[in-house]
Amino acid sequence: MMKIKGLVFDFDGLILDTETGEVKIWEKILQQFGLVLPMDQYLQYVGHATDNQFVQNILHDLGLTDAQIQSALIEYENLFSTSDFFKTPREGIREFIQSGKGNGFNLGIASNSYSDWVIGHLQNLDLEQFFNPICTREAVSNSKPDPELYNLVLRKWNFLPQEVLAFEDSPNGILAAKNAGIFCIAVPNPLTANMDNSAADLLFNSFTEMDLHQITHGLKK
């Protein structure tokens, strides 16, 4: 394998665990209606570019009226904006990012979310300065699992797939990286740990378990 020059990260669920936080909020809201979030249905959309329309469809399927759905959406926005859950990155990710940058790797983002969302959260976490490029869904025609986002990062760096590692947290993102020919390391969050992440080349429970030097050194053997 060629020398690793770049590290490409997904954002939602990997750097900031918005996915688990969103589920907790929806569970809290649905409790008020005496309802339970159907996780099997919800998990089908995790990691996809959905604009959360699927959540409205779930609420409708659960029997909520249009007025109740609108009320639930407003409450969701209020809870999301005030929750501490979205103010702290995943354990070990900040140190991992700093280690990667400090060791001379290029760091990039490939996310199915919009740039305002990703860059806004990265700025709030004081992490934006580590990443270039930050490639998001409006920059491509096809979202993950299509490899277009990863291919865009490769073009901007002028790197080969064999010179890059991808970090993802869910099957959809893993497939996108693999479709681009990139070695993919999965670090599932509590929500996506229940999904089939077996297509990843390596899997860790947390960034605290990883040693970047050992990984890159091992791949060169």
Q: Does 218 have pLDDT greater than 80? A: no
Give the C-alpha separation, 174 to 80, whole Å.
Answer: 27
Report the pLDDT value the prediction gives residue 20, as an integer from 0 to 100. 85
Report the pLDDT value the prediction gives residue 187, as an integer from 0 to 100. 98
Report the pLDDT value the prediction gives residue 50, as an integer from 0 to 100. 62
Helices (H), the chain: 18-31, 39-43, 53-61, 66-82, 93-102, 115-124, 148-157, 171-179, 212-219
Q: How far is CA 70 from the centre of its chain?
A: 27
Q: Which residue has the higher pLDDT, 144 or 53?
A: 144
For the ranges 22-31, 48-57, 83-92, 139-148, the maximum mean pLDDT occurs at: 139-148
For the ranges 27-41, 79-93, 122-136, the maximum mean pLDDT occurs at: 122-136
Catalytic residues, which ones? 10, 12
Q: Which helix (H) or strand (E) holds 110?
A: strand 106-110
Q: Rounded mean pLDDT of 23-46?
A: 90
Which residue is it, tokens 């709030």? 124
Give the pair of three-digit tokens for residue 94: 């900040």
CB contact set of 16 (below 8 Å; sequence gap of 6+): 86, 88, 89, 90, 121, 125
Give the pair of three-digit tokens for residue 187: 């670090």
CATH 3.40.50.1000 fits 6-16+89-219, yes or no: yes
Q: Tell me: the pLDDT tens digits for 40-96?
A: 888 888 767 666 788 899 999 999 999 999 999 999 989 988 887 788 999 999 999
Give the C-alpha separation, 52 to 220, whole Å.
Answer: 41
Give the pair of three-digit tokens for residue 178: 């693999």
Give the least confident one: 77-81, 124-128, 158-162: 77-81
Q: Rounded mean pLDDT of 26-53?
A: 84
Q: How confident is the model at residue 1 (pLDDT cuts 50, 70, 90)?
A: low
Q: Does 6 have pLDDT greater than 90? A: yes
Give the C-alpha separation, 112 to 47, whole Å.
Answer: 8
Give the C-alpha separation, 176 to 166, whole Å.
Answer: 10
Which residue is it, tokens 């790197």? 159
Q: How confident is the model at residue 14 (pLDDT cuts 50, 70, 90)?
A: very high
Decide: residue 69, CB within 10 A, 0-12 exposed, 13-18 middle, 19+ buried: middle
Q: Which residue has the higher pLDDT, 177 or 85?
A: 177
